[in-house]
Structure 1
Amino acid sequence: MPDLLLAGAALGLWLLAYAACRVATRPVPPAALPATMDLGPEPPAVAGLLVNDGSTHAGTAGSTLLDLAAAGYYELRQPDADPHGTTIHLAGEHPDEGGLRPYERQVLARVRELAVDGVVPLTALTFRDDNESRTWNSRLRAAVVADARAAGLSQRRFGPTMMTALYLGALAVGVVCGLVAVHQTHLRWTFLVSLTVAAVLAGLVQRIGERATPAGSEATARWLGVRSWLRNHQQFAELPPSAVAIWDRYLAYGAALGVTRQASDVLDLGAGVRRNLWSTYHGGCRRIRVRYPRGRPWYGSGTPALFLQALLVVLAGTLVLIVAGPAGWYSLPGYVLLTGGAYLLIRTLVDRTRSVTITGRVLALHLRRAQDSPRVSHLVIDDGTADETTAWALPHEWGDRCRQGDVVTIAVRPWSRRVIAVSAHAPADPGPRPSAGPDSELTGPLVTDVFGEVRHVRAGPLPVSVEDVARFVGQPVRVERRPQRVDFRSELDDTTVLRAAWADGTAGRIAWRANARGVATPLPGIGDEAYASGNRVVMRVGDTTLVLTALGGGRMGAPHLPWLLSRCERDALTRT
């Protein structure tokens, strides 16, 4: 018994020291700066790492994918109102990759690997194998962490001195446990217990995560201000991935900061989409992180099944004590089983006597695999109180009482997380519908524009004439109208050769800010102000911003884009 007490005391002291280190180094988010639209120098993936308390999340890969599109490595095209139909079109001439970071090259390599003739559906980037997804995303996140550390923005949560002390402590605990095992069994090979214990404790230290440096805290406060500014624009959450053509890097940063619900739903480069869901319950748009319990035999079990589990554990412990005797090393498993059975029995009794009522929106209803449990499903509910939740176990007899999107009230048993009653209050929201008014009298289909709004196509004057575009590309073109956007398509091969997109008000100011910075070249004498950058030109007329982008075969005429921009009619732009 003294040997066991010695091993337990050593392990307990180490765990106390580990807990103290966690408390001393817990991430404390800085106070957010005032809402601002000024982007910092950090890439979207690093900005997301800082805002999420040093942990990477589902938006890391998606935000990098959007950032590469904003940089011109490929284009995102949405052929209809469904953003899930978005396709990626690789640039004909590969841009210089010398300045790309390792994780950006990794995302670009994934796109090129799956592309056929330079085109790949956006949804095809999702991994179909869980192990492949985990390996790929782990490598991506490790590269993001390394980039943040190299920039002096992030550091390991435990410093070198603290980690060394914990590693040495883990080794000491392992040695003590190994000596106790040898002393009790008189078998030398049981000293391997020390290696096992030391490895488990060292693993806890290794996976502790990141925390921001002082410079990282300053950057975090700034990015929290950017997130607040983006959240103030309700339509931003509904932007599709193709809106990167106008919003430029703002959309990428929105995905990294957890603001773009629509784009992030489509941009899934992992197999774990069930763990990151979006909710609009109680207003706003929030990403909800979902945990699915594993290794809990009591999860979702009813009271009879829990009592049976407790009885079997107690019987197993009793049999071990009868065979091994009440004293000695071999009796330890028996005492452990008896303690576990007693704990299970007490928790079952307490769980039986109390229930909790929760009201919220159903985010997901997943049928569990047969080998896990054929009797319950995973029910994910957002009650509006936190951005993290754990799935409830819904018996199949209650499965027809609710569906995704419903607002329901459920009665649950907290410990076993079993749902015992369901009542629905409101059916699933069928989504926005076009309201009657001026737009209802417009001709053309109902489509989603580059700003995420569902509208009818307006038949107004074009900001640039078809004749000028035909002269620009050297071939006849036809017009394909969309709200606040016009695609000029070649009549020879039906490919888009030029895209004209415009916006006014706040959206126009954002589009101007996004496109008239960096290496853009001023174009004097055009509109109120104009710039050129690569295959894109931008012009501001009053509060309206127009962007012309040469695509496909139209790229050959990119040097003549300033001439085409100069031909745009100011009156047509303001009346379109």
Structure 2
Amino acid sequence: MTLIEQLYWGGAALIVLWLVTFGFVLVATRNGVVTPGPATQEFGDDPEPPAVVSLLGNHWRGVEHAAAATLLDLAARGLVELRQPGDDPARSSVHVTEAGRTASGLMPYEQRVLNRVTARAANGAAPIGAIAFRDVKRAAAWNAELRQEIIAEARLRGLSRFRYPRLLGSALLIGAFAPGALFTVAAIMGGHNVRAALAVGVAPGAVLGFLLAKSLGERATPKGLARAGHWAGLRAWLTAHEDFAQLPPASVTVWDRYLAYGTALGVTSLTSRLLGFDSGDRRRVWSSYGGTWRPVRIRYPRLRPGFGGSTSRLLQLASAAGVVAVGLCAFAVLRQPDWVVAVDAHSDGSLRRPGLVLSAGWVGSVLLGLVVAGKFSRWTLLVAFLAMMPGNFVSGSHGWFSDAAAHEGPLLGELAAVGVFGALAVYFLVLACLERREPDTITGEVLRMESRKGKGVARFLVLDEGNTDLTTAWALPAASQGIATGAQVRLRISRATRTIRSAELVRAAMPEGDRVAAKQAAS
């Protein structure tokens, strides 16, 4: 065995050794078993905050419902107030009290939740649905920071710790790249260039490092397991109350901190669903633009032909649809029965089978239209090949393909397809003409912005003009910059294609839930 082969085999052996060691480490550092305590309604002498209880109740894997539980805990302590004016809990509102505006000494995650509520209820009150974020990335960042603050508090209380000791984690990380070092040396000795050798060496380390990163997290301490058992007993006591799961948020005035702990432990299904600090419902957003809070329903025209198209693009699509219609029509009119040969014992008719002839005409017309539309790619060829396969395997003298090929004149399906593509061509031409009109001007607040896959594809922008409870998203060109969720903008738009021609910033967006924004609103 040559030295190069020894290096490759040595690297492979190190990978196996690392995986075996990693498996033992996973088993050794897994969380212990939580032994539920007896059902109890007692919190204890020094109870953990509901946010920390959420971490314990989720077996140190996450802090689901921690923000909602913290909000309810703040309400139980008189810093905020939750009101339900009618029978619908979803219409409840949140108010920041005078004690909440002057509160001090709160934990970082409590202050974060209070600042979010203060920012949304800057005018005195806000619907509970307005607490949710409109921007997905902002919601994810806010919740990630909240999680880190809760974990820091749990570690400070001796309830949680890193899964891996610092020395063990460093050893696993270094060991993950050791096989790659041997592979790199072997590749260089084998005559490969440095770039290829580094690629060979980094690949196994990247995979093993990814496995290590996915396993990082928190692990219980003995004290944490004991406290988790106590809170499991409280969960059992709360679960025994049949109506507790359907309590609305405003019932915190009756149940006090029990509602907060029940939410942290996943017992209150209704309250947990209504008090969301995530990205919210993309089809129903609360807006205060115009002076009063109201829910705005949103429609996304994903299947609308010509949505966001420019004049040149609409003309191109009209040409493509027209080409398909003309191609299908010409093939249907010019097709003759003698284009197909009769199959007998001496001739297989492989290139003139009825199914293959028909498929070639139909698929060829569509392919020509895709070329004109600029949508032709290697995947298009694959789909076209698969589309012709059913007709290619039909070689008999009887059957649907044979009867269709022998039919005089266009088939009913061909007439329908010609009509559809012809109508599309006219539709795109009409849109192109409407695009030449002078654009309209509208002003409002940006409720949501969503990206669409693919470069050069328009994005969705949802604008609230303040005069309707139902709005349809506009097409914002992918190259547009400087517009953010929450900003007030003046748009020049084309209603035919719902395209934004230009955008002018009227008022910049305030960062959702930031502490700076909350302090400015309070002052």
Give TM-score, length-normalised by structure 2.
0.49
Higher share of residues assigned helix: 2
Structure number with higher strand proportion: 1
Larger Rg: 2
